[in-house]
Chains A and B, each alone.
Chain A
Amino acid sequence: MSERIVVDPVTRIEGHLRVEVNLDETGKISDAYSSGTSVRGLELILKDRDPRDAWAFAQRICGVCTLVHGLASVRSVEDALGWEIPPNAHLIRNLMSAAQYVHDHVMHFYHLHALDWVDVVSALDADPKATSELAQSISTYSKSSPGYFADAQTRVKGLVESGQLGIFANAYWGHEGYRLPPEANLMAVAHYLEALAWQREVVRLHAIFGGKNPHPNFLVGGCASPISTDPSASTGGFDGTSVNVTTLQQVRDVIATMREFVERVYLPDTLAVASFYKDWFRRGEGVGNFMTYGDFPLDSSGDRSSWMVPAGVVTNRDLGSFQPIDLNDPEQVTENVARAWYSYSDGDDIGLHPYDGQTKFAYDGPQPPYTHLDVESNYSWLKSPRWRGQPMEVGPLARMVTWLATGNERATELATGALRQLDLPVEAIYSTMGRTAARALETQMFVEQMDGWLDALFANIAAGDLSVHNAKMWEPRTWPKLAKGVGTVEAPRGALGHWIVIRDGKIDNYQAVVPTTWNAGPRDADGGISAYEAALMDNHELAERDKPLEIIRTLHSFDPCLACAVHVAGDDDTQGLDISIK
């Protein structure tokens, strides 16, 4: 006799995720079902639009991964049309994308994931002086004084004593699964607060190049951030544009601010927290298959050998199995709807390549309000992408695996160092905590890369190359009648691809296959299980059935992004709805 546990809403994520799990007699999770419960229909909305406008629509797939869908979209159009962009545009895009990694991963750790490991209430019992000593033992961060931690403690104490706990109300505080001593809890809570201020500062990089954050601007053919060399003289006292030698120095400062926080706070905190939860390196493996699309080009040549992140697939944990991928091959990436609330015209049990992708809403789930989904039938608004029919994990752990498989020296050094520090074998990375640690380690790699791209941008400007946009193909009348392309981004949450078909200057088909769809999709026609469900079914036992802390720990290790995952379109059947307002 199994027992069903439901978590809905799964909070501290982006979007609307629900999980239902079955527990066996011993309290272990025997089956898990992950469901995206909200749909918008963006791909249908994109049909027949100007491909140059698509980035703005696509970017609104997600405001947390803000930027990555805009970038994938402009790259899809450029790929379809063979549209080369200036080197400066690649550098600016790389800087913006890396900044997104650093910002997103730090916020994920402190504001979305940390409270799975850190008991805020316990932090009230900490001694600020002992906390200061703990912090100084793991990092040289300059703010680790007793007063700094006392201030953070006073702040949280005030909230608790006010009787209004706000965002901290009614959580799993006191659960036996929380294992940090009070001082470690206080250290993390202080950094939770500090990261809120830090993130506000570092997104200024996006504002300088993209005008604002969230949702900075992109432009097909390059960047919409012309570089003004001599703002005041050339504009008669006005500002010129926001990209100039002064603001590029601010970008330099932002990179330094990022790097300090990652090196001295985020990475040490992650490893310190992990050291108290080593059993979480032994559960939560996904599907054992990993995929990256690769990213961070320096030119439009398409030569991937210089890319910071490689493109390829590793299967069955076998680093020797690394092989390249072809995103235009109809046999490789497909999307499946066998257990999703969609149907395909030629039957739901086949997979379709994104160029030929189709989507038709077929909601046959329970009408709300409901208590359970029919998990034996269709149960999600996510499709299930597959590579050669196999489920793949994408994201930080997948990147670590493909870096190790391709012999990346820095990644190998960081991973080996962390495993040695924690006294763990290499297999430990295939786990809930392995995923969380991989995210912190790669953030270190990104902050180390950014200055180089900025140096290159400065050097180009000094040499007189200000170009950030190639306008030669701007007019749709210069385009072929039919063109297809795929724009890829190695996004913080994993491999992201936008496939576009352009006909007569307009979008004929647009399909986005996104990281969380890969990881969180429902089962496929063969019963194949995606990464979220597989991870929850790997060695999870609930200590308290009413407080399924273990479930949210593993889900959060993936950094779920459901608005990304559910972006698909309906077909003509859903048009012309007769809306009645109750």
Chain B
Amino acid sequence: MTEPQTVGEMLARKGISRRALLRYAAWVTSIMALPSSMTRAMAQGIADTKRMSVIWLSCQECTACTESLTRSYSPTIDDLIFDFISLDYHEALQAAAGHQAEEARLKAMEDNKDNYVVIVDGSIPLGNMGYSTVAGHANADVLRETAEHALAVVAVGSCATWGGLPKADPNPTGAVSVSQIVRNTPIINISGCPPIPEAMTGTLAHVLAFGQIPELDHLGRPRAFFGNSIHDRCYRRPFYDKGLFAKSFDDEGARKGWCLYELGCKGPVTYNACATLKWNGGASWPVQTGHGCLGCSEPDFWDRGSFYKPLPASTEPLATPLAAGAVAGVAAGALASRAAKTRREILGAMSKPKDAADTTDKT
């Protein structure tokens, strides 16, 4: 084996031009609301780095997070695993099985000590160590061991970030989130059931390029993807403001794309990028088809009452945006200033990226 090549060398070999890399970097900086002046730094950061070693641990999960990752349009899953990262352990995708698979994980940890990223999907059961094992080891033990010398741990999906479905009442297995297991390694939460693929790949690209984690919100989520409510960015918002609501799932209003608030939409209390990035290459997103938002990127959304129960409020004053915000528990004005603040914070925090090559230092 020769010395590891940098991503830049890999891309050059593949015939990917510097221009294409810049284009990708521009896309990431734009969706992450970074200043455009950072595009060049991000492209250089990616080009100079060895493919980042990534170890993906699956706990109590359903594999939708992995499936979602494979739907990413930029970068695509094949670009990601061939050109940007070295996916050294991932039970659903890796060729090796059994003890050879476990050896691959241990080798990646040893070869890339303090420099690899751990991605986790699924919650971790603490009710009995026998509730979830891989290779005879409890999920909790494997996660602790693997996270100890990681650059960062990325919890993907609402099970890994908050405990998710297994933790829903009455939490039969004593399921907990990654943050209740991992103590001394930075954690990035990318929630959603599953998360938007580009939220996962964009965050990875950021970590790869700058060697540090992006700006996070109070729940540990990248602000770039979780800084706005669904409701704030919803294309149906004008109908809400006019007081035009679908009253059932197939009435005239439903067919005209009127607001789904009265059918239980949780968009006003849900922070995610579905309304802007949309899903599956922009084909659609849940509200656009005509079903209310389930609120799947928020903690304990499974236990917040029926998906079809309107958010608690009288619908009478809903015609005005101000009242709407009050109903959702966050004033519309505050939301606007929150969004503005988010952007300022990102600009402030991101204006001095660390040396991209310096990936040993934990943020």
Binding site for B on A (CB under 8 A): 6-16, 18, 37-42, 44-45, 50, 52-53, 56-57, 60-64, 66, 111-112, 115, 120, 154-155, 158-159, 161-172, 193, 196-197, 199-201, 203-204, 206-215, 217, 219, 221-222, 224-229, 231, 234-235, 238-243, 247, 250, 341, 361, 363, 365-371, 466-469, 471, 474, 547-548, 552, 563, 569-570, 574-577, 579-582
Contacts and interface: CB of A to CB of B under 8 A. Distances in A.
Contacts of B59: 38
Interface in B271-315: 274, 279-281, 283-291, 294, 302, 306-308
A219 B290 CA distance: 10
Given A45-B172, A155-B82, A361-B128, 5 more contacts: A63-B64, A171-B95, A222-B249, A224-B289, A225-B290
22 contacts: A11-B97, A16-B58, A18-B135, A38-B133, A45-B302, A52-B308, A62-B62, A64-B63, A166-B86, A170-B100, A200-B72, A200-B77, A201-B281, A210-B289, A212-B279, A222-B250, A224-B291, A242-B283, A341-B130, A370-B136, A371-B136, A563-B62
Contacts of B334: none
B185 interface: no
Contact of A369 (B3, B13, B136, B256): B136
Interface stretch (B23-31, B163-171, B200-208, B215-223): B163-171
B63 A162 contact: no
B92 A226 contact: no
B161 interface: no
B71 A200 contact: yes
Contacts of A66: 64, 67
Contacts of B291: 211, 217, 219, 224-225
A469 B127 CA distance: 42
A39 B285 contact: no
Contact of B68 (A14, A214, A224, A247): A214
A40 B175 contact: yes
Contacts of B4: 162-164
Given A196-B77, A200-B76, A208-B284, A215 B193 contact: yes
B343 interface: no
What are the nearest 5 A-B pairs in CB distance?
Answer: A63-B64, A41-B172, A211-B286, A171-B95, A224-B291
A371 B93 CA distance: 24
Nearest to B172: A41
A251 to B, nearest CB: 10
A183 to B, nearest CB: 20
A226 B250 contact: yes
B135 A8 contact: yes
B180 interface: yes
Interface in B202-242: 235-236, 238-239
Contacts of A468: 249-250
A364 to B, nearest CB: 9
Contact of B306 (A52, A115, A170): A52
Contacts of A229: 255
Interface of A is mostly: loop
B289 A243 contact: yes
Contact of B10 (A162, A197, A580): A162
A511 to B, nearest CB: 15
Given A16-B134, A61-B62, A579 B127 contact: yes
Interface residues of B, number: 111
B173 A40 contact: yes
A130 B310 CA distance: 63
Given A63-B67, A217-B289, A242-B284, A161 B257 contact: no
B53 interface: yes
A228 B257 contact: yes
Interface string B91-108: 111111110111110010
B356 interface: no
A197 B64 contact: no
A12 B76 contact: no
B21 interface: no
B280 A57 contact: no
A41 B64 contact: no
Given A60-B165, A169-B94, A211 B136 contact: no
A386 to B, nearest CB: 25
B289 A241 contact: yes
A175 to B, nearest CB: 11
A242 B285 CA distance: 8
Interface in B245-271: 248-250, 254-257
Nearest to B260: A224
A226 B254 contact: yes
Contact of A197 (B76, B166, B307): B76
B15 to A, nearest CB: 8
Given A215-B193, A570-B172, A577-B174, A53 B132 contact: no
A394 to B, nearest CB: 20
Contact of A170 (B53, B96, B174, B256): B96
B93 A12 contact: yes
B357 interface: no
Contacts of A197: 76, 78
Contacts of A580: 126
Given A158-B10, A169-B104, A563 B76 contact: no
A42 B174 CA distance: 13
Contacts of A225: 289-291
B136 A166 contact: no
B37 interface: no
Contacts of B45: none
A231 B172 contact: no
Contact of A575 (B172, B176, B239, B255): B172
Contact of A57 (B64, B95, B170, B302): B302
A173 to B, nearest CB: 8
Given A154-B13, A363-B131, A467-B250, A563 B63 contact: yes
Contacts of A6: 98
Contacts of A16: 58, 91, 132-134
A219 B104 CA distance: 43
Given A16-B134, A39-B132, A154-B14, A11 B92 contact: yes
Given A200-B71, A204-B283, A53 B306 contact: yes
Nearest to B130: A363
- Which of B96, B139, B140 has the most chain A CB atoms inside 10 A of its CB? B96
Interface in B74-120: 76-78, 81-82, 85-88, 90-98, 100-104, 107
B5 A206 contact: no
Contact of B249 (A213, A228, A469): A469
Contact of A239 (B2, B61, B135, B235): B235
Contacts of A56: 294, 307
Nearest to B94: A167
B18 interface: no
B172 A44 contact: yes
A238 B91 contact: no
Contacts of A242: 283-284, 288-290
Nearest to A218: B291
A162 B88 CA distance: 13
Nearest to B158: A60
Nearest to B101: A11
Nearest to B5: A162
B132 A164 contact: no
A341 B173 CA distance: 13
A168 B94 CA distance: 6
B165 A42 contact: yes
A18 B2 CA distance: 35
